[in-house]
Structure 1
Amino acid sequence: MDTTLADPLVGKLLEGRYRIDRRIARGGMATVYQALDERLDRVVAVKVMHPGLAEDAQFLARFTAEARAAARLSSGNVVSVFDQGSHDGLAFLVMELVQGRTLRDLLHERGRLSPAQALSVLEPVLLALSAAHRAGLVHRDVKPENVLLGDDGSVKVADFGLARAVEAATQTSAAGLLIGTAAYVAPEQVARGSADERTDVYAAGILLFEMLTGTVPYVGENAVSVAYQHVHEDVPPPSTRADVPPPLDALTVRATRRDPGARPSDAGAFLAELRDVREDLGLRVVAVPTGRATMTGPSHATVAVPLLDRAVTPPQPPPPGRRGHRRRGRIPVALVVIILLGAVMAGAGWWLGAGRYVRAPTMIGMTEAKARTTAGHAGLKVALGARVYDEVVPVGSVVRQDPGADRRIRKGATVTLFLSQGKERHPIPDVRGDTQSVAEAKLRQATLTPQFFTKADDTVPGGRVISQSLKPGLLVRRATTVVVVVSSGPPPVTVPNVVGDDLDSAKGTLTAAGFTVNVKRVNDDSIPKDQVMSQAPASGNAPRGSAVALTVSDGPPLVTVPNVVGMKIHQAEATLTAAGFKVFVVPFFFTDRVKTQNPAGGDHAPKGSTINLLR
């Protein structure tokens, strides 16, 4: 039977947005579907948790918190988390859909990988884990099923924080169980139920072991027997099962030490050692083999594993020879006193030790009232911190708590809750008509990010805002970018060439083109008066309304006319010629001397003009 057709969720629309198309896979905690985000028109993966988990408030709170933490991870090697929600009581995650297959599929196909291939897969896995560790997030369930190999050659890690969310479910924690995959679980997870960055390092080391050898280090009849081998035995060097270079052999052993303190401190430290080994061996980064999921062969499921300190031990038979026989008689008073004193001392020791401490419950995502009730049941008090903005947690519900969930604190201590004041939104200010500096100040005061561009404009003065990309009054997130267009003044206009034109004509031409005119006159012997001698700018483009400077001829310079009346004609001609004038003599009297002159002596006349002499 087609399981897709039989699945009741196929075809459903989750939260009015995610249309379920088909089932991709089903695991121990969730079922994964391919879906269409109808709002953004993109294909996504939707992981729907099994119904039993959705009934547990502790799980839902942890699930929400871990989803938010995973969504904040910024790494190209982490499967992006887009959204989380619930549908008919079923919690779900919306994630990036990676087209390809899992590392488990590749290992089923090839058995084991070459050293170069193994390191080329592990390096992006460690990059993803190191990004999580820097953000304070521990994966807790690193395994081939959670390593996705994209058709584009990418390697991405999925399901960050999911194991921790499931482990928080009350029916699980009450039974003394941890959530993980037995083949990859670290000794401290089994022995103490604790996990930190070194727990992920251990699982990544087992992952490297399996890629190099084609098998996991331990097998057993059930998950418990496999998990306990991690506690009581050292992981063997991979060279005992395959041909592995010594440096790579040593790296695997270091990463899988039973003592967490003997391992690399986190994924970043593991990555640095891996790169040193790669360089020592001269191994290049190679392409990760691509392909489609085969859906064949065994896989390692995430399961609940009993903690070692709570594991049930088989009943012990009574000592030989004591069965069915009990000595009758009174219990001595001294023995009773000793027993009572021992009980009192044991009780006091318990109280001074573990008895006065509790684990802070998870209250993330709860309403204030529910969080107070939860804290009260745990014997804790509640104080309220400053309200904070949050994109996911509803107004009045818990965004953060201090001390954090699972922290060991004294009974009666106070847990500070930070409640959500909803999504952070800021109104867009109106900056149209403002100068650029004023607009920038307004936008930054509103916690927005301005981005400025310039554009020529006939109507808006230069340096003033023409337009803005977002409507004034619109409510947007902090740091939203607002594109602001600032006027650079009127658009440039081609400058006409008016050199050689008379002044009146030149003015008309320039005014018609949108320019103003500045005139400077200079005397010139060779250019007629009122003719344009030069202009600036001479050509090209200039802003409309700007000035064009014209240099205009004012004709030859004026020269003082010498007084030659009474001089002999030849002397007068010589004097005037030397002064730059021409001479015309009008004979009237029969004499050789000048009787009158025009222009008269002392007047001013253009150089080169004619002086008339009457004799």
Structure 2
Amino acid sequence: MQEYASDPLVDTLVDDRYRIQSKLARGGMSTVYLATDMRLERDVALKVLHPHLADDPQFLDRLGREAKAAARLSHPHVVGVLDQGEDGRVAYLVMEYIKGHTLRDVIDERGALSTRLALALIDPVVEGLGAAHSAGLIHRDIKPENVLIADDGRIKLGDFGLARAVSTSTSTGSLIGTVAYLCPELVVGNLADARSDIYSVGIMLYEMITGQQPFDGETPIRVAYQHVNSTVPAPSILVPGLASEVDELVQWCTSKDPDRRPVDGSALLHELRHIRTNLSDAELDLQPPAAVGSLPGLASAPGQGAGRQGPVTASTSQISRAPRPTNPPQAHTEMLGALAHPTEVLRSGRSNPTTVMSTAQQRPAYGQLSAPDGTPFGAAGEDGTEGPPADLSKRAQRKVDRDAEKARQRAAATPTRSLREGNPRRRGLLWILLLVIAALLAAGAGWFFGLGPGSPGTIPPLANRTVAEAQEILRTGGFQSTTKDVFDDDVSPGLVVGSDPAAGEVIRKFQPISLAVSKGPQLFPLPDLGAKPLEDAKTELNGAEMALGPIAETYDEAVPAGTVMAQDPASGTEVRRGTPVSLTVSKGPQPIPVPDVRGQEQSAAVKALEAAGLKPVVAAETVHDRKVPQGAVIAQDPATGNLTRGGAVTLTISKGPKLVEVPSFVGKQAKEAERELRKLGFDVKVENIAGGFFGTVRFQDPVDKAVPEGSVVTLGVV
């Protein structure tokens, strides 16, 4: 973990017990330090609350209750809360110190992970979360940064110290977490429960498999909006070939309706481990398109592939961010999870003696089931032949023997009457005949239930075969079959999706087997979103269970801003549920800057405005202006800013300077003449004659005629 810059608390002693060594991280509510517990001589993680929270008595009281609740939770995959207290203005939590890195570091370093690695890493997280939910705790901030991976391979879920116990939650029941993983019910202000954590786990699993989060946006509120109004797309859209079970797991966890998610972490853990056990090696080791490559050591060892009961393990070298040395040290390994739901043999009410069912299998899948010892039904037995497990064959044979014995007992107990009483020879022959008949009945029953139509048989795997091939295999094995058509996103049309009962089950051969034949993926026509406001288009996409794709914006003179102009794929196109639909949205007419044409001749100004796409309007009234020549633009409205195409600009045209009659000031004092001329709007030029000693106007030019305002009047002064 990264050590941050110096801090005032570093090298101080908190509460006379915890010596702070260095700063580890800083978050929105607290700063985390590496400290040493001087009393027990061990390293701990000390979470110090920010001052504005430490000064809130109600928050500290609630924090104390939550810390006690979290401290009662002891689980190998949950970071333990060791202590809580206050030292002056320092309010703190003491937690177990995990030396290593986080799941965020793994995702940043590796990008998209293989299915095997993603499920192996998230298994202990879900196990720890399930234990917390059972104890009444909700995390509220599940994210890769809170999944700690120790150097020795241990994986723990941290930051339960700020979680709120369900039994003591406030009326709001919410603690806002990281927006990328925030569940819809918290966004709209509803209560949070265990299913809220499940949603965050689903988002995190999506990111682990695809290398990116399902929703992004320029601001947190846009991301939160998508959590409420959009459907999380299937990971297989970005990772072609991904097992459909993984798609279903992610979309089950991230359903917008909490009632359609797993009820808590334990329920999710059962399904997660069931999927891990039943996926093939090829499905588990599928590499995403942008993946760096599978991590060393995570590939299945011989005898530990999918469908077997061997545990999945990961060493610290498999998830460390540091480069691997040439001779890496021997790393301890940790069991990340094994199958938590052993298969159970249950008695059936039908004629077949046993029916194999998985206690964890709740979906109507056509998956492979296993016997109690973990051997898949239909696998080769000890003698190399394919058939039901030996214990089932023995049970079936014992039932046949019991039925035969009962038949002999009933025959022996049937009263008979001699043809000739007192003839022992004939009575003996009669008994022999009855015994022969009983033996024949027993042999017939034995043949029927042992080798004939009533004998038990294991249903072979039939997925991805043609109907003719599947029916021929069943006929060869002595089974009868029917067909039914179903939609399936992964199996090509015309091929068998599975059977009911499922492959691997043991049934009597006279019982019918139903073959599910793929009709291909179920397709739905896209709604027409053109000419609709963007918000209405989003609502309609959600109603059709489609995903919102990229939104492009463009100017359009005819379409109002915020209106959908085009969509891709087009309306009416038949696509799968969850398909992203890209939208092109109008930004309205493009704004045009208004050019400044003041001072230009009228015709030139009109041409300039028309070239810019605007409409020039010449005002009927013209005005005089001493500085603007006649016929030029003296004013325009608007003079600046933006207009849309075709916007009007009003031009006012100058009549030039107005004519003013120049009176005669000859014989008058020069100063008075100059003052009066300037009042009339003329400029005055004084020429002194012989020094202008008397200050009297001797002559002026012009005089007694009309000239343009602002003209120069020359005065000769003596």
Instruction: State the TM-score, normalized to the length of structure 2.
Output: 0.38
Instruction: State the TM-score, normalized to the length of structure 1.
Output: 0.45
